[in-house]
């Protein structure tokens, strides 16, 4: 159910093939969720400026049912920023991360919602 979406102006050939797998492991660990439920998508080659500069930059969205909040998001931000900086070379001051704490009824899976799967827990 967690989804990390990373949009960047980096060309696709600058995104290592294993980046999405590494990112899956990072968000699974940070969120305390099974990697089997995590999704990572990267949208490269976007015309993008950050602070008026087209130097490498990104915007990320992390959606999860729970495991997000004031304290938790600090840890998630650090983990995601470190990964993006180390693997993609995008400085952590050239990326924003938007956190979305979705309700269980707001995420569908297998033709039902997570609310149906977990009974509103």
Reduce the secondary structure of the chain to three states and give it as a string.
Answer: CCEEEEEECCCHHHCCCCHHHHHHHHHHHHHCCCHHHCEEEEECCCCCCECCECCCCEEEEEEECCCCCHHHHHHHHHHHHHHHHHHHCCCHHHEEEEEEECCHHHCEECCEEHHHHHCCC
- Only one residue has tokens 């920023």, namely 81
Choose the catalytic residue: 2, 44, 47, 56.
2
> Does the annotation count 56 as an active-site position?
no
Residues in the chain: 121
Catalytic residues: 2
């Amino acid at each position: 159910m967690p989804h990390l979406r990373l949009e960047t102006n980096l060309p696709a050939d600058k995104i290592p093939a294993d980046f999405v797998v590494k990112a899956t492991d990072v968000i699974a660990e940070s969120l305390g969720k099974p990697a089997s439920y995590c999704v990572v998508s990267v949208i490269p080659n976007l015309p993008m400026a950050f602070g008026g500069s087209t130097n490498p930059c990104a915007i990320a969205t992390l959606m999860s049912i729970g495991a997000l909040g004031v304290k938790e998001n600090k840890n998630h931000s650090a983990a995601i920023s470190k990964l993006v900086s180390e693997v993609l070379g995008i400085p952590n001051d050239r990326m924003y991360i938007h956190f979305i704490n979705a309700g269980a009824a707001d995420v569908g899976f297998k033709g039902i919602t997570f609310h149906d799967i977990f009974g509103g827990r």
